[in-house]
Structure 1
Amino acid sequence: MSFKITEISKKTQNPLMRIIKLFIWIFILIGGINYYNYSQFSDEILTDTAQIIYIESGDTFYGLKEKLNIQSSFMNIYLKNNTPDFELHAGKYQIHTGATIGSILESLQNPIFEEMNITLLEGWNIYDIDEYLGKKGIINTGEYISYVTNTEKIEKLTEFFPFLAGLETLEGFLYPDTYKIDTSNFKINSFVITQLETFENKVANIVFKDRDLSQEQIVDVVTLASIVEKEEKNIQNKATVAGVLKKRLREGWMIGADITVCYPHKLTAHECKMVVSKYINEKNEYNTRTMRGLPKTPIGNPSSETVNATLNHKNSPYYFYLHDTQTGKIYYAETNQGHVRNKNLYLR
């Protein structure tokens, strides 16, 4: 009796076993086909036509499939298993007709030469410059800041630019100008050296020429000039504004420049405008609304004209100034009473 039950059980299992075996063979077959196709992927033609593609800051290799409209499902698997031994840099690249994954990766190591003019505005700080270069796709955001605040790199640069001795940041000495760069071969260190050479040529060798200034005095002049640059845009008024600020410093007053409030928070000029009231009464080494003396470092990068106006300031009886919020015109005052009167008249 038990023999018959066992025999019947085996008979009922046979169809199920056959189905399971069939699925196993199908799985093995599909796996084998996929493995073969994957093994052939490196020789597969991925592009039918020549293409120009643009790699932007932050792009990764995994975005190439979409950029090049590659249909193969093995693209990202291949990149994961065969990580490229180079970094993907922002730039313009030529991908040729009939390209394989190997030739595509080779092309991405040879960007098309492309000159670009970039303009760094007077008064911009290192956070403004970093943001600007990042948005242009020239660098990854943060790279410029990291370089110009690296004390080891600054120390090495001091050998060529003595006026940098002892600095913790290059802020103030990164000359604002229009520069022509090669986006396909942009190097932050080379660009920074060009900025420092421009400062040397336009400021150190001209404005400071025949002036027996110590390193500390140079930094003080540049620091004050960085405030003047942001406080007054009209070159005709800069020497007078510099004179007012110097007099306040000399007599132990606080400079009281709102523009110094945001710097310790590492903000761009645009970001500062939105939060200046939040930090106006904060005590730190930069806020001249709550401290006497100059900020710890420059707060931006002034032009040679502003450095000259600061060094050769104009004396006046004034201790205060403000700008009409409608016209931008500057109004001076000798006393706090006169300053309050100007506030009521022109800050509306």
Structure 2
Amino acid sequence: MKRILLVLVGVVVLAVSAVAGAFFWAESGVQRSVAPPGAPTVEFTVPKGTTGRGLGPQLASQGLISDARLWRWLLFRRGHFAPKAGRHAVSPSMTMAEIATALEGAPIPDDVPFVVIEGWRLRDTDAALAAAGLIKPGAYIAAASQPERFTAPFPLPKGTLEGYLYPETYRVVPGAFKVEEMLQRQLDTFAERFYTPNKEAIARSGRSLHEVVVMASMLEREEPVPAQRPLVAGILWKRVDKGFPLGVDATSRYELAEWNDRLAFLKRLRNLEDPWNTRHRKGLPPGPIGAPTVESLQAALAPKPSEFWYYLHDAERRLHPSRNAEEHEALRRKYNVY
């Protein structure tokens, strides 16, 4: 009888030891990560309809956990697990508990790139957003025509935000796009890229921020080579300061429905009352004519002095400056530019 009792006690002890060993194995397993701290973050996708237990083999196969059985133990111990379908940022340096918490959080938004091209007008960006199905036509222009609704570390213009909406590639979420948020992001990018780093230089320049933006918007359209823009800026500022018409034809295109509509452009050039006609009107145009890049803004802020008063581009878009009207006309004839 004693022998039987001893055997039974031994079996119980072994069973308890096995359970205890399994418990400690499971507990230590769920508290360890499979990689040391600093391992790269990866995207893990929770498919729609997948159960919590069903994620274990997927996590193990991607090297995010060591054993799917440990994952089942973690879920048993948690008692409740509600992962969100979608993409999640996780790392093999996270513990299982941390991974589980991450999978219950909001998934990575399904954003896509939207490119605002250098020199685009409000109407151009509006049309591109509408074509992408992100807004109804006119929504971007309407929102940009209420500058008082936005914030910036610089004085916002009156009328519209034309010229201050930085051209860049922005990540947007279809189905959750808000035009006001897009405009604020563009203003923030303008401040980050240009205004904040150059705030003191703008104050010393003798020009207002708005004047710099207007000039930069013309440079964006006038000179395709960024390295040449300071020289062109020097010529244009000199003409402004001396009371000569700028002669920037891009300003006469600004209000055209289609920028390259030549017949409509020539008609506007003949209109001497058009405030955007800088062939005849002196000074800067009424406002910016598009979205300038930081290269154009820097050129407008720091123009290059020179002996030149005129410039033109040949058929290859190469710049040819000249010192006087005679040289300018000779270059016109040479390169057939009229």
Fold shared, TM-score > 0.5 on shorter chain: yes
Alignment of 1:171-182 (within 5 A): 171-182=162-173
Matching of residue 197 in structure 1 with residue 192 in structure 2: no
Whole-angstrom distance in 1 between the partners of 2:256 and 2:158:
18
Q: 1:320 aligns with which of 299, 310, 313?
A: 310
Aligned to 1:163, what secondary structure does the other structure show?
coil
- In the other structure, the counterpart of 2:93 is none
Tell me how far 1:209 sits from its aligned partner. 4.1
Q: 2:148 aligns with which of 155, 161, 170?
A: 155
- In the other structure, the counterpart of 2:209 is 218
Tell me how far 1:290 sits from its aligned partner. 2.0
Matching of residue 260 in structure 1 with residue 251 in structure 2: yes
- In the other structure, the counterpart of 1:146 is 142
- In the other structure, the counterpart of 2:335 is 346
Q: 1:130 aligns with which of 126, 133, 142?
A: 126
Whole-angstrom distance in 2 between the partners of 1:176 and 1:316:
30
Give the length in aligned residue pairs.
229
Tell me how far 1:138 sits from its aligned partner. 1.4
Q: 1:280 aligns with which of 266, 269, 276?
A: 269
- In the other structure, the counterpart of 2:326 is 337
Tell me how far 1:240 sits from its aligned partner. 0.2
- In the other structure, the counterpart of 1:14 is none
Tell me how far 1:210 sits from its aligned partner. 4.7
Contact 1:254–1:292 under 8 Å retained in 2: yes
Unaligned runs of 5+ in 2: 1-108
What percentage of residue pairs aligned between the two structures are identical? 31
Alignment of 1:64-103 (within 5 A): none
Contact 1:164–1:170 under 8 Å retained in 2: no
4+ runs deviating over 4 angstroms? 213-216
Q: CA 1:268 to 1:180, structure 2 compared with 1: closer, same or farther past 3 Å?
A: farther
RMSD of aligned residue pairs (Cα, Å): 2.1
Whole-angstrom distance in 2 between the partners of 1:148 and 1:284:
23
Q: 1:241 aligns with which of 214, 217, 232?
A: 232
Q: Which amino acid in the other structure matches residue 163 of structure 1?
A: F
- In the other structure, the counterpart of 1:187 is 178
Tell me how far 1:305 sits from its aligned partner. 1.1
Matching of residue 121 in structure 1 with residue 111 in structure 2: no
Q: CA 1:328 to 1:266, structure 2 compared with 1: closer, same or farther past 3 Å?
A: closer
Tell me how far 1:269 sits from its aligned partner. 2.7
Matching of residue 229 in structure 1 with residue 220 in structure 2: yes
Q: Which amino acid in the other structure matches residue 239 of structure 1?
A: P
Deviations 1:200-246 (A, max 9, x none): 10011123345426997000010011001100010111000000000
Alignment of 1:35-54 (within 5 A): none
Whole-angstrom distance in 2 between the partners of 1:165 and 1:213:
19
Whole-angstrom distance in 2 between the partners of 1:215 and 1:133:
37
Unaligned runs of 5+ in 1: 1-112
Contact 2:153–2:191 under 8 Å retained in 1: no
Tell me how far 1:287 sits from its aligned partner. 1.7
- In the other structure, the counterpart of 1:293 is 283
Deviations 1:241-265 (A, max 9, x none): 00000011111100010000032x3
Tell me how far 1:164 sits from its aligned partner. 3.5
Contact 2:238–2:309 under 8 Å retained in 1: yes
Aligned to 1:171, what secondary structure does the other structure show?
coil
Q: CA 1:273 to 1:300, structure 2 compared with 1: closer, same or farther past 3 Å?
A: farther
Whole-angstrom distance in 1 between the partners of 2:205 and 2:229:
23
- In the other structure, the counterpart of 2:299 is 309
Q: Give TM-score, length-normalised by structure 1.
A: 0.62
